[in-house]
Amino acid sequence: MSRELLNIVEAVANEKEVARNVIIEALEAALAAATRKRYPDEEIDAKVVIDPCTGEYKSFRVWTIVDDEAILENPDAEMRESVAAIEYPEQNLHVGDVLEIPIENEPFGRISAQQAKQIIIQKLREAERRKVYDRFIAEEGTLVHGIVRRHERGSVIVDVNGVEATILRDGMIPRENLRVGDRIRGYLAKVNLEMRGPQLEVSRVAPEMLKALFTLEVPEIGTGIIEIMGVARDPGLRAKIAVRTFDPRVDPVGACVGIRGSRVQGVMNELAGERIDIVLWDDDPETFVRKAMAPAQITATAADEVRKSIDIAVPENKLPQAVGRGGQNVRLASELTGWTINVLSEAEFQARQEAAQDAQERELAAALDVDDDIADILIEAGYNTAEAVASAEREELLAIEDFDEETVDALIERAADHLLQQAFVEEVEPEEEMQLPLDSMEGLDESVIAALQEKGLHTQEDLAELSVDELMTYTGMNQEQASVLILKAREPWFRG
């Protein structure tokens, strides 16, 4: 029988082109399964070892050694440590060890042929999956060539070097008609080893595919002379790619476009005619956004670096072009630059800038307890925060027209007091901050504080708990002033 086993191993290994050890493991599993069936009233654990040289095999009943206090989940395959010490003292067994006791071999001829076949097929499938995985894992994240073989449940099955790969529905370019026999390129997005799901997943919509195609078409990218800084795609319709170079002799945009557009056209043809804008990267966000928004005609910009948001102004009649169909142009530019881009008409931009300046003016006036005219002068001179005023040189402030020494000294002192107060508030817990007296709050003049105190309101929390209508009634403020003040009083709650 040993010769028969070896013959089976050799035949199957040669036919399926898998290693001999895989077939031997399958036969060992089949023999172990047959051995366990000899004990119909027990749930034993069995093991069979085949000698790959002679074909002889040995069978063992396997016991796992467990702690004496443990609950036996399977008494037919688990043995307590104390029992093992008594019955097999020479083995010196401890918790976690495995005891293998030789038992009679199950004759090979009695193994269910169907059972052996199923186990062997399962092992072969596992081996084939491993072989495909080992073959392609190094290619994950690269371009692959394939031939369309069939359509299956909305997905496309592609032959990639003799192995079936899957392009899922969301990995296909919309409205692209892939026909059986078409030769295509795709981005190998994932190589799976799991039994469930496609083993090779290919994408035609990944931004990385566009980057890989340009790397193929433009030698300067492959050599590192040109670097791709970002990619944004609306698959099948439009894409934007940002490039840069540290070699002043090289035009990165022109190199990517190629002579008469040959290079970029090659990429577009591969992507079903997807239109591609090549943008020169810039480390200045506003300049980069201007270039990324091409062909939009931008007349002004205003960036908020904290929120990574930028407002851009375009002529009224150029708004549709700047935004793009369905917002495509601004959406791709935002994705490429990493900034939120707000496209405004010139009138809207001007109104927003004026509103922002007015808010900044009011905030500075409140912080320094000065009127709006002085705040406006400071902002025009470049001092738009209390921090900027506090850190300014006295001589610089004196150089501002209409400012005398007394005014400058007062501004510096008030700015420093404001910073100290802010630092104190930041260190106070929200609950404690809400108990601060009203005169410690910014934006409250003495008449308002007096009016509130007459109503029995003495702390920031008292003010925060008022409604807008109540505050308007108590102080005579308009609705906008009352809303701003109550929101200011409630800030510690939001921070907490």
The alpha-helical segments, DSSP class H, found in 159-274 are 207-217, 219-222, 252-257, 262-270
CA–CA dist 208, 223 (Å, integer): 18
Domains 1-128 and 369-427 fall in the same CATH topology: no
Whether domain 140-205 has CATH 3.40.50.1820: the reply is: no
Pick the CATH number of 430-494 from 1.10.150.20, 3.40.50.800, 3.20.20.140, 1.10.3720.10: 1.10.150.20
Please list, in sequence order, all residues whose beta carbon lies within 8 angstroms of the beta carbon of residue 273, skipping any fewer than 6 positions away: 236
User: DSSP labels for 397-439?
Assistant: HHTSTT--HHHHHHHHHHHHHHHHHHHHHHHS-HHHHTTSBGG
pLDDT, position 38: 84
In 3D space, the residue among 147, 146, 274 whose CA is nearest the CA of residue 207 turns out to be 274
pLDDT, position 495: 60
Whole-prediction pTM value?
Answer: 0.61
Cβ count within 10 A of residue 149: 15
pLDDT, position 199: 84
203 phi and psi angles, rounded to 5 deg: -125, 140
Burial of 268 (0-12, 13-18, 19+ CB in 10 A): middle
pLDDT, position 332: 95
Polymer length of the chain: 496
pLDDT, position 430: 60
Pick the CATH number of 1-128 from 3.40.50.720, 3.30.1480.10, 1.20.120.450, 3.40.50.700: 3.30.1480.10
CA–CA dist 291, 284 (Å, integer): 11
CA–CA dist 299, 151 (Å, integer): 50
- Block mean pLDDT (10 aa), the chain, length 496: 67 71 79 85 90 85 91 90 90 91 78 61 76 85 93 91 90 90 92 74 94 94 94 94 93 93 93 93 93 91 87 90 91 94 90 80 80 80 80 81 81 80 60 74 78 86 85 84 81 66
Q: Inter-axis angle of helices 468-475 and 446-454, to 10 degrees?
A: 110
The CATH homologous superfamily of the domain defined by 369-427: 5' to 3' exonuclease, C-terminal subdomain (1.10.150.20)
CA–CA dist 97, 34 (Å, integer): 25
CA 30 to chain centre: 45
User: DSSP labels for 77-92?
Assistant: TEEEHHHHHHH-GGG-
pLDDT, position 156: 93
| Domain spans of the chain, in order of start | 1-128, 140-205, 369-427, 430-494
pLDDT, position 417: 80
DSSP tag of 197? S
pLDDT, position 235: 93
